[in-house]
Chains A and B, each alone.
Chain A
């Protein structure tokens, strides 16, 4: 259709950006998994991949911004669209920062806590699957609004599960026999992991706001 070419190009870019963010988060999770399995060289490879995917996602985000402010979509909608894209981009930033934390600061995770760190990382970074589903559903326009909202609710539930893991692991860290500096370092590491699901929840909220605005 000849109408709304610019708008459709923006949607294509948003979907491309979403793919890039998903790959970035998955690469980051791989890096953390390898790190916790003491395979640092593999972890580095995935961390580098995560970094470059995050940079590519940034470039696409800039493209989206340029297209939006050169006339795609009505001004009223531009801000909402760009806010949503930015919030999705922050998930990739958090994922990149998380694997950077592991590889730059090399937190010493005690053997008995490794499986717990792995579980919280998988839950937190795995949230990208639900986020992608919700955003795809909304932008492709082939779901009912209620379905999109079901997906955004699922993001919220998953974030709550991450919070539960975080609570348990924080307690485990601080009741352990490690010195206080070590405890604080592990807590910082845990914070950087759960930051990803926090940012994903923000993106989900932004998407839910967009769906609410379009409901009459």
Chain B
């Protein structure tokens, strides 16, 4: 059951975060969603297996400073997963990290464990700062590219082809990072329980993410690639690169960031170059609401569900 809960979270990550890797490339028509899913599956599994162990340790022990029971872990995973499923259903590119962090904090409070709120606040701050910074970065980069294209280049097919391949390459890189970063989110809480060896757990996390991408990833990919603003090849390239550079910058500062917020910020920045009218305000409002409600609901539902089950069985 606990492995099933981990796989469910992995499936959710695949369904929601696939958009972060390939949403822009699929949205501008660079690759078909089917091919994008194959790339996501390969690179996220590789990422999970090769570099997934670091986040797995943080999620396992970073925020809640004591070992959680099987029940607590299952509740944290199921509650976080459920709200990500809801967000995916409503096509909202939410952060699965936000949901997991919310779920783990909620359960930590419910079991009266020591919760490292200073760490939580740093993470929460990055949820706000990251999309804003990436948005500014992509806005600047898009202006720079525009200047280069108008002054020095004709923007020929070969140039666009190069930009397109770079965008696809960066999609693969983000998929690898997603595997490395988020497989730990899915199986991190289980790692402490010692049910399976860490590598096998990470493989399970990576595989469930690949299945999530293939079965339910298209909805959110459409929101990122088409819903916020229409993207062309240079736009997709700039959005991908800005998100990757922004996330790398935060990683250097040691601040964990959400790929969802980075890519949404980047796509908005690209759209803003064409003016406010190019941005779908309705989509942005829905996304912001999703970002606020997902961790809140994940935390409160895991807290309440744990208390309820304890009270009922006591």
A, B in one complex: yes
Residues of B close to A146: CB separation below 8 A: 150
Contact B155 A76 (CB under 8 A): no
Q: In this assembly, does A167 line the interface, its C-beta being within 8 Å of a C-beta of chain B?
A: no
A74 touches B161 (CB 8 A): yes
Our pick among B30, B150, B273 for the contact of A74 (Cβ within 8 Å) is: B30
B149 part of interface (Cβ distance < 8 Å) = yes
| B169 in contact (CB, < 8 A) | no
A145 within 8 A of B: yes
**A102-149 at interface with B (beta carbon < 8 Å):** 137-148
Whether B142 pairs with A77 at a CB distance below 8 angstroms is no
Q: How far is the CA of A216 from the CA of B274 in the complex (A)?
A: 9
Per-residue A-contact encoding for B204-241, CB less than 8 Å = 1, 0 else:
00000000000000000000000000001111000000
Which of A30-38, A46-54, A179-187, A207-215 is the contact stretch? A207-215
Shortest 3 CB-CB contacts between residues of A and residues of B: A214-B155, A141-B156, A216-B234
Does chain A have a CB within 8 A of B29?
Answer: yes
| Interface: B151 (CB within 8 A) | yes
Q: Is the CB of A73 within 8 A of B157?
A: yes
Which residues, 81 to 115 on B, are CB-close (under 8 Å) to A?
A: none
In this complex, how many residues of chain A approach chain B with their Cβ under 8 Å: the count is 29
> Inside 8 A of B233's CB, which chain A residues have their CB?
76
The distance in angstroms between the C-alpha atoms of A139 and B156, with both chains bound, is 6
A interface footprint on B155-198 (CB within 8 Å = 1, 0 otherwise): 11111111011001000000000000000000000000000000
Q: Which residues of A contact B155 (CB under 8 A)?
A: 145, 211, 214-215
User: Across the interface, do A142 and B29 meet the contact criterion of CB distance under 8 Å?
Assistant: no
Question: Can you identify 13 A-B contacts, CB atoms within 8 angstroms?
Answer: A7-B157, A7-B158, A73-B161, A74-B165, A76-B28, A77-B164, A80-B157, A145-B150, A145-B155, A214-B157, A214-B160, A216-B232, A216-B273
Min CB distance A23 to B, Å, is 24
Residues in chain B near residue A75, CB distance under 8 A:
29, 31-32
A76 to B163: give the CA distance in the assembly, Å.
12
- Shortest distance from the beta carbon of A139 to any chain B beta carbon, whole Å: 6
Q: CB within 8 Å of B: which of A5-20?
A: 7-8, 11
**Chain A residues whose C-beta falls within 8 Å of the C-beta of B160 in the assembled complex:** 77, 213-214
Taking the nearest CB of chain A, how far is it from the CB of B224, in angstroms? Answer: 17
Residue in contact with B161 in the complex, picked from A4, A139, A144, A215, CB distance below 8 Å? A4
